[in-house]
Amino acid sequence: MEKNLDNSLSGASAVKEIHNHEEDDIRKALKDDEFKSALAEVNEVKLENARLKMLLQQIENDYNSLQTRLFNICQPDLKKSVNPTCTSEKIADEEECELVSLRLGRSPSPSESKKVDKKRTREDYHCVQSNDGLKLGLDYSSGVSESDLLKPNNNPSPGPTSEVVKTMRKGDDESVKKRAGDDEVSQPNVKRARVSVRTKCDYPTINDGCQWRKYGQKISRGNPCPRSYYRCSVAPLCPVRKQVQRCLEDMSILITTYEGTHNHSLPIEATAMASTTAAAASMLLSGSSTSSQSPKNFTNLANYSKTTPLYLSNSSSSPFPTITLDFTAFPTTSSFTSFNFPSNFQPSSGLLSNSLSFSSPESYTIPKILGSGCLNYDSTSTLPYHKNLINIGSSQKQFDQPFIGKNNTSTSDKLKEDSSQQALTETLTKAITSDPSFQSVLAAAISSMVGATKT
DNA sequence: CGAATTTGACCTGCGC
DNA sequence: GCGCAGGTCAAATTCG
């Protein structure tokens, strides 16, 4: 009886053992499978990583070349005067200067930037560029700490608080005037340059990501719509101001005029507008400072713009040189950043070849910005402050076409499309690389785009 | 109650 | 010098 029990027990244990072995085998097999799949995943990720690295490197290279060219246009005369025998060995120095010319917020005068750039160390340059290069134009890392942001621009003495300024205004007009003079000295050109942005917007003002405080409203002559005056309230002594007024001809169009540059870092949402206006201002300033008759930057555009005659009016008729960015053809919302790039815009891959969809495949007569814009210098506009007009709005349809077509075409059509796309890309590359003015706006756009994708 | 906006007064530059 | 228009200030008011 006991033996039988023993036998049965041993049999049961044997069966148990067999089961354990099977389970072990299954577990091992499962582990092997998991391990293999995990390994495969790791390999895929590695490949993807390498691919992304290459892509990033390519973008960085493109971006750097654009910056080089941008600087070449922005300060051609300066370089000639400072260093008439500018050789290729000086490229590194030029690149240092580029960093300043593309930076948001602070735009020192050419002479100032020259001084600053000479002082700027190689480490500074690398700290901005080395990581990914894409930070350029978005983050201003000039060693300005958060506490520094509250101090007046380039002012060694501790700046007066807003309260002090108030008392100064009341009690001492001379000091106020002096202070205003100091501001102008610190930002001589940028202060005077104005960038006017036309947008279709139902809201009282566009949301450009920056904080504004309204300080006045006035009904200007010839326009029943009141003009509102805003001051940047991010930093107490930020000199940036903007005027907002509805267009007389079309009440749905909002005209926002920016003046000055921020002396503090900007929130990411604000960099889109800031970089765009900064680029436009730099275009304007580089043009007006080099030659009042026919700036090289703008005449280059005439080569492309055969349908629209190029026109640069004399800025002497207005106290401020003003450049107008016309976004009225974009489907706008209250947020600038949202209409800056359409919803179907895909900046993640094939950045330059896919995202920059240009609407004129036959030729590059009109350089388009971000797939739907055209640089348009319109002499017939009756805009207030109008001097130069950059029309960055065009038909949204044109922008959509490449994206819509991909889903509906046959294989042969796809091949045709691919080849034509490639040809188009090459054509556009030529257009981009040969047009410095377009590059400056493009550089700003890329800055904005990178900023948007980073959020 | 503090912050933001409104609004009339004031300042400044420019043309006549 | 005067008037006009654009721009700014600051007290009053509103809003959250």
Task: Determine the protein residue whose CA lies at the shortest distance from the C1' of B14.
Answer: A319
pLDDT reported for residue A269: 77
pLDDT for the residue numbered A221: 78
* Higher pLDDT among residues A379 and A325, named by residue: A325
Q: pLDDT band at residue A229, thresholds of 50, 70 and 90?
A: very high
Residue A172 has pLDDT above 50, yes or no: no
Q: Taking 70 as the threshold, does the pLDDT of residue A220 lie above it? A: yes
Check whether A351 has a pLDDT greater than 50.
no
- In this predicted model, what pLDDT tens digit does every residue of A10-58 receive, in sequence order? 554 555 555 566 667 767 777 787 888 888 888 888 888 888 888 777 7
User: Which residue's CA is nearest to the C1' of nucleotide B5?
Assistant: A214
Predicted pLDDT of residue A402: 36
- Check if residue A224 sits with its Cβ under 7 angstroms from strand C: no
A319 touches strand B (CB under 7 A): yes
The per-residue pLDDT of chain A, averaged, comes to: 53
Chain A 172-211, CB < 7 Å to strand B:
173, 177
Q: Which nucleotides of C are covered by protein (CB under 7 A)?
A: 4-10
Q: Report CA(A256)–C1'(B9) in Å, whole number.
A: 26
| Cβ of A243 near strand C (distance < 7 A) | yes
- The closest alpha carbon to A272, from A219, A199, A214, A215, belongs to A199
Could you identify the residue whose CA is nearest to the C1' atom of nucleotide B13? A319
Higher-pLDDT residue of A443, A125: A443
Please check the confidence at residue A203 and state whether its pLDDT lies above 60. yes
Mean pLDDT of A87-107: 36
From the number of C-beta atoms within 10 Å of its C-beta (0-12, 13-18, 19+), residue A48 rates as exposed
pLDDT tens digits along A381-437:
333 334 455 554 443 333 333 333 334 434 444 444 455 455 545 544 554 444 444
Looking at residues A77-94, what average pLDDT do you find? 39
What average pLDDT does range A279-286 have in this prediction?
Answer: 71
For chain A, the three-class secondary structure string (H helix, E strand, C coil) is CHHHHHHHHHHHHHHHHHHHHHHHHHHHHHHHHHHHHHHHHHHHHHHHHHHHHHHHHHHHHHHHHHHHHHHHHHCHHHHHHHCCCCCHHHHHHHHHHHHHHHCCCCCCCHHHHHHHHHHCCHHHHHHHHCCCCCCCCCCCCCCCCHHHHCCCCCCCCCCCCHHHHHHHHHHCHHHHHHHHHHHHHHCHHHHHCEEEEEEECCCCCCECCCCEEEEEEEECCCCCCEEEEEEECCCCCCCCEEEEEECCCCCCEEEEEEECCCCCCCCHHHHHHHHHHHHHHHHHHHHHHHCCCCCHHHHHHHHHCCCCCCCCCCHHHCCCCEEEEECCCCCCCCEHHHHHCCCCCCCCCCHHHHHCCCCCCCCCCCCEECCCEECCCCCCCCCCCCCEEEECCCCHHHHHHHHHHHHHCCHHHHHHHHHHHHHHHHHHHHHHHHCHHHHHHHHHHHHHHHHHHHC
What is the pLDDT at residue A120? 38
Specify the length of chain A in residues: 455
Q: Which pLDDT value is given to residue A127?
A: 34
Question: What is the CA A221 to C1' C5 distance in angstroms?
Answer: 7
* Under 8 Å between Cβ of A193 and A146: no
Nearest protein residue to nucleotide C4 (CA to C1' distance) is A221
Lowest mean pLDDT among A42-46, A218-222, A339-343: A339-343
Answer for A215: CB within 7 Å of strand C: yes
A300-335 per-position pLDDT tens digit: 333 333 333 223 333 334 456 777 877 776 544 444
Residue scoring higher pLDDT (A393 or A249)? A249
